[in-house]
Each structure stands twice: as C-alpha cells, then as structure tokens.
Chain A
Amino acid sequence: MAVHITLPESRKKSAAPDAPKHLVTPGDVITTDTGYMRGHGTYMDDDKLKASLAGVVERVNKLICVQPLKTRYNGEIGDVVVGRVTEVGQRRWRVDVNSRLDAVLMLSAVNLPGGELRRRSAEDELMMREYLVEGDLISAEVQAIFHDGALSLHTRSLKYGKLAQGLMVQVSPSLVKRRKTHFHNLPCGASVILGNNGYVWICPTVDDEKVESSGGYEQDLEPVPSTDREVIARLRNCILSLATHKLMLYDTSVLYAYEASRQYQVKDLLQPDIAEKVADDTRQRLQMESG
C-alpha cells in the first residue's frame, strides 16, 4: 500500500532562455510586405500580415505561418492517427481524433474481415456494428480533408484497423515529432503508435504475421502476461512525464526515457519529482548525442 501526500513545490524556472528569434503574440505585425502568403496562425488587416497565435514564425518560401505551442490536431493527408469511434452512422463511422470536428471513416475506406477488396453490400452496412461500435479505438491514416476541415480516414492497409488490448494516453499533438513511421516495435518489449493527433497507443508487441491473417479486425482477448504489462505501464508513465516536461515524442526519446526510468519502480514514476528526473535525464542524453 502506497500513499504519498506532499506539499506542492514551486516550479523550477529554467534560467530565462533567449527568446526565439521571431516570437509573436496575437495582433503582432509580422510583415507589411504584401509579397507573402498568409499561412496558419496569421491574418491580413490593412495590408499588414498579423499573427493570430502566440508562437514562433516559420517561413517556407513565400508562406508564413505561426506555430503555436499547443493546439487541437490539424490534420494533414498521410498522417497516422489513433482515434475513438463516437458514432455509427449511415455507411460511415464518426471518429474522435482530437481535431476540431470528428473525423469520418467511410465504410468503403475499411478492409473488411477476410481482407479481400470487394464492393460493400447492403449486408455490410447492417453489419457495421459488428466491426466497430462506439468507444472502439482504431489506428488509421488521413485520406482527405473536407472543405469544413473535417478529416476523412482510411484503414486500407493491414497495419491500420481496430486496436486490441493496450492503453491510450493523450498528449498535445505538437509534441509528436513527424517521422517516417509512427509504428514502433520497441526493443523493450512493447509496441507504440505515436499518433500525429497526440493519441498514443501502447500495446503488447504485435506479431505481424498474425495481423495479416486477421485483416486487422480480429482481436486477441487472451490475458496479457505480467511482464508485458509492466513494460506497458512503464512506457505509459515515461511518455506522460516526457509530455509534462515538454519533450518531443519519437522512438528514441521514448526509449531513452524508458531506460532512464529503469532504476525506479513503475509506480514511483507517478511522483512528480521522479517523473521530472526521468525527463531531465532523457533530455540530457538526447542533447549529448545531438551535439
């Protein structure tokens, strides 16, 4: 039995960092030059390009945008997301992906069990609840963006589909580093999907062959062994402590945090001071390696 009651500590203020080069807050004029294109986080007012968010200005050729520190998920085509089904509708599921509107997963955008590609019949429509119901978690890819900003998803690859046993944690989408792959079979003995939308899925290592035979909609409901469970719990706490201390999430940082946490018991990682220590150690190791 463990009960820890402490008094709150004041946050350590890191020595005032040098302000990033082009930091703006809402209403700041970014440029009066009309030759630029207005990107995310900016608006035009009196021929002046102004910021509408607090963050750092980024220029890509003629395009100017402001990157905020945290925001809801802004989907881009090709992104990997983890989402939760909120509604079963006519030939489509609605999926919460931490975006400003629920994403849509069309019946035609999923691989039906059996894996073969075929026309969707009326029976399939009636069977939709058999595949996915409210509350189910899926991994998917952003296929298109509707004009109102809602995302359209697809799971037409064997690596996507319904998620089985495991757990989900939620972080800010801006903390997930864009990488070539967001599916990681970590050597510590668990798999992680770092969704671009900030939903992170941690589960026992997936056996690729098994997935292919099941088409992604079958679930393994056998109890997860304790050893795997401990790894998953540790990963969960590590990812949360990285996110609290604003470290970017990608395979290396997660793995380093996992290694830094090895000297503590899993449940001790819930204490703020230890979580901070793990995050700091990870940050140092990453910095050392990068330069």
Chain B
Amino acid sequence: MSSTLGVLSDAERLFIVHGVQDDLRSDGRACEDYRHVQVETDVVSNTSGSARLRLGNTDILVGVKAEMGEPDPGRPKEGKLEFFVDCSANASPEFEGRGGEELAIEVSNALQRIFNSRSTLDLTALCIIPEGQCWVLYVDVLVLECGGNLFDAVSLAVKAALFNTRIPTVVVTADDEGQQEIELSDDPYDVKRLDVDNVPLIVTLSKIGHRHVVDASWEEELCSLARLTVGVTQKGTIAGLNKEGSGSLDPESIYEMIESGKKVGMVLNSRLKEALEKEENSKREKIGFLG
C-alpha cells in the first residue's frame, strides 16, 4: 500500500525523534527492544536446509542448497559459501524487474562481510577431495515482505537455515589406478550438520536524534541518517561492521553503538538458539504459509 511511498511529514519525524529521546518509541518499545520474531525451519522440502522468519512485518524465506563444485585454488581444502539475495516484487512493487537489485546486493554484501572470517563456519568440513571437489552451499535469500530492519531479519533467517542444513555424507574411494570416486550415501538420515555456533547475527543500530535504536521500523528508518550494521557472535565477538546511510557519526557514539550492538546481539543469538532447539525437540506439525 502507500507504505511504499516512503516519506514522512516533518511533524511525524519530530514525534519519532522525541520518542526515541524519551526511550519510548511509537509502538511502546524501548530503544533496545526487538519486535516479535517468529521462526520456522525446514519449510521448503527440496532444499538442504530452509527457514522462514518474520520480524514484525518483515518476512524472509531462506533456502540452502548443497551442490558439488570445485574449490577456489587459493583455498583448496575448503568448501564454499555463496549468497544470493532476491528482493521479490511480492515485498513491494518498487522491486519489480531490476528494482530490487541494488538493495539485494547491499544485503548480500552485508552477509558476505559477516561470513568473511574463517572462524565463522568451518569450511574445511565441506571439503570432499582437496583440490578436487567440495560442497558449495548456495544460501538463497528471498525477501517476501519489507517492514523495516531487513538486515537483521535476513541474518537471523540465514542462521536458522544453516542450522537446519543437512549435507549428505559422502565416501571417497580410490580404485587401483588411484582414481578417486565419490559415493553418496543412500540413507537419507546419514547426514552431516553444520556447526553454526560461531555464525554471527547482524544487529543494525540506527542513529535517531542523539540516541540509537535497534530493530527500527520502516518509519524509524526514514528518520535515521546513519546506521551501523554490526555482526555479533554468540560469544560477543564483533564479526563485521559497516556504517550505512548518508550521515556521519561522532566517534564516541560509535563506541556506544558497538557496545549495545554486542549486548543485544548476544541475547539475540541465544534466543534464536533456544527457539531452534525447541523446534527440533518438539514433534510439531510444520505450519509454513498455511498457518
């Protein structure tokens, strides 16, 4: 609807800015509160792992596909992780055709940034034959609805999908001539899982007035000139950081934002883990989009 218009009047903006100043935002949240998050994994059956996540009105679907490929020559003993983001026109008519591409590249670069470090995910576990074959994990993100704070929602959904990912076990056998052969296990339950403990989540801190908020709604995003996207792991390590938006920040507030990003990010990580483990241990019916 008209939310795609993306403009606010000066008075509305003022109302939001003063609210942030009072630590009481337009929907009653304090500056460091998240909106309600709903997550469900294993929603697309022909993927190796998938997750759907709703954060407020932001709706993300992630599918992970494991395919075999060649490793990078610089890293012969490691598998690969490829990100692709599609801002679907379903989310907003603005995204029709190539309209969503710019935003999609921004999001995939942000994902790339937090997964850049080798301590994030053990890529050597994805190696099949060094310098020969490896698993390539295609992480495909589909944005279905946009209600603010896209980056955080995407990172949550990606982590949930990676948690859900199962890679078939392979056995490499060498015949007499030293030719290596790859054999895929027939048993669908004979699978390998990924260790996602070190996978970071993005916490976006938006500077509004003199304070900053987490999980900005789209209205609040319009009031913010500068944002920090901070990757935070479960242990509180900062994994990737980027300033966005057309404004600037003074150094002191950057340090404060990093600190609150770390604090919120750790909680976010542990809550996500709890929810995912709860889902795995309960024999509940999948709800998906029919719910």
A and B in contact, CB less than 8 Å: yes
* Stretch from B25-33, B74-82, B184-192, B227-235 that touches the partner: B25-33
**Given A10-B285, A233-B26, A272-B36, A167 and B1 touching (CB < 8 A)?**
no
Residues of A within 8 A of B18 (CB): 165, 223-224, 229
Residue among A1, A86, A167, A267 making CB contact with B15, cutoff 8 Å? A167
In which size bucket is the chain B interface?
35 or more
Who on chain A is nearest to B289 by CB? A8
Residues of A within 8 A of B287 (CB): 8-10
Measured between alpha carbons, how far is A137 from B5 in the docked complex, in Å?
A: 13
Interface residues of B in 1-56 (CB under 8 A from A): 1-3, 5, 7-12, 14-16, 18-19, 21-22, 24-30, 32-40, 54, 56
Measured between alpha carbons, how far is A267 from B287 in the docked complex, in Å?
A: 26
| Contact call B26/A7, Cβ cutoff below 8 A | no
Measured between alpha carbons, how far is A2 from B37 in the docked complex, in Å?
A: 11
Residues of B within 8 A of A8 (CB): 38-40, 54, 287, 291
**In the complex, B264 has a CB within 8 A of chain A:** yes
Residues of B within 8 A of A86 (CB): 5
Shortest distance in angstroms between A139's beta carbon and chain B's nearest beta carbon? 12
| Contact call B34/A269, Cβ cutoff below 8 A | no
Residues of B within 8 A of A3 (CB): 33-34, 37, 264, 267-268, 271
Q: Which of A6, A98, A134 has the most CB of B within 10 A?
A: A6
**Given A5-B275, A11-B291, A270 and B29 touching (CB < 8 A)?**
yes
A 260-281 to B, binary, CB cutoff 8 A, 1 in contact else 0? 0000011101111000000000
**In the complex, B279 has a CB within 8 A of chain A:** yes
Residue among B11, B19, B267, B285 making CB contact with A1, cutoff 8 Å? B267
Measured between alpha carbons, how far is A134 from B8 in the docked complex, in Å?
A: 8
Residues of A within 8 A of B56 (CB): 270
| Contact call A229/B11, Cβ cutoff below 8 A | no
Who on chain A is nearest to B53 by CB? A5
Measured between alpha carbons, how far is A230 from B30 in the docked complex, in Å?
A: 11
Residue among B11, B37, B267, B279 making CB contact with A164, cutoff 8 Å? B11
Residues of A within 8 A of B291 (CB): 8-11
Measured between alpha carbons, how far is A11 from B291 in the docked complex, in Å?
A: 6
| Contact call A170/B3, Cβ cutoff below 8 A | yes
**In the complex, B193 has a CB within 8 A of chain A:** no
Shortest distance in angstroms between A261's beta carbon and chain B's nearest beta carbon? 10
**In the complex, B274 has a CB within 8 A of chain A:** yes
**In the complex, A259 has a CB within 8 A of chain B:** no
**In the complex, B210 has a CB within 8 A of chain A:** no
Shortest distance in angstroms between B52's beta carbon and chain A's nearest beta carbon? 8
Measured between alpha carbons, how far is A135 from B9 in the docked complex, in Å?
A: 5
**Given A84-B5, A270-B36, A4 and B11 touching (CB < 8 A)?**
no
Residues of B within 8 A of A9 (CB): 287, 291
Shortest distance in angstroms between A70's beta carbon and chain B's nearest beta carbon? 11
| Contact call B7/A135, Cβ cutoff below 8 A | yes
| Contact call A233/B284, Cβ cutoff below 8 A | no
Residues of B within 8 A of A166 (CB): 11-12, 15
**In the complex, B263 has a CB within 8 A of chain A:** yes
**Given A7-B284, A165-B15, A1 and B263 touching (CB < 8 A)?**
yes
B residues lining the A interface (CB < 8 Å)? 1-3, 5, 7-12, 14-16, 18-19, 21-22, 24-30, 32-40, 54, 56, 156, 219, 263-264, 267-268, 271-272, 274-275, 278-279, 284-285, 287, 291
Given A6-B37, A167-B15, A236-B27, 19 extra CB contacts under 8 A: A2-B32, A2-B33, A3-B33, A4-B37, A5-B271, A8-B38, A9-B291, A84-B5, A98-B1, A167-B16, A167-B26, A219-B11, A226-B24, A230-B24, A233-B24, A233-B28, A266-B28, A267-B30, A270-B28
List 22 contacting pairs A-B, 8 Å CB cutoff, sorted by A: A1-B30, A1-B263, A3-B268, A5-B37, A5-B38, A5-B156, A5-B272, A6-B36, A6-B38, A7-B279, A10-B285, A10-B291, A135-B10, A167-B26, A170-B1, A224-B18, A226-B24, A236-B28, A237-B27, A237-B28, A267-B28, A270-B56
A residues lining the B interface (CB < 8 Å)? 1-11, 84, 86, 96, 98, 134-137, 163-168, 170, 219, 221, 223-224, 226, 229-230, 232-234, 236-237, 265-267, 269-272
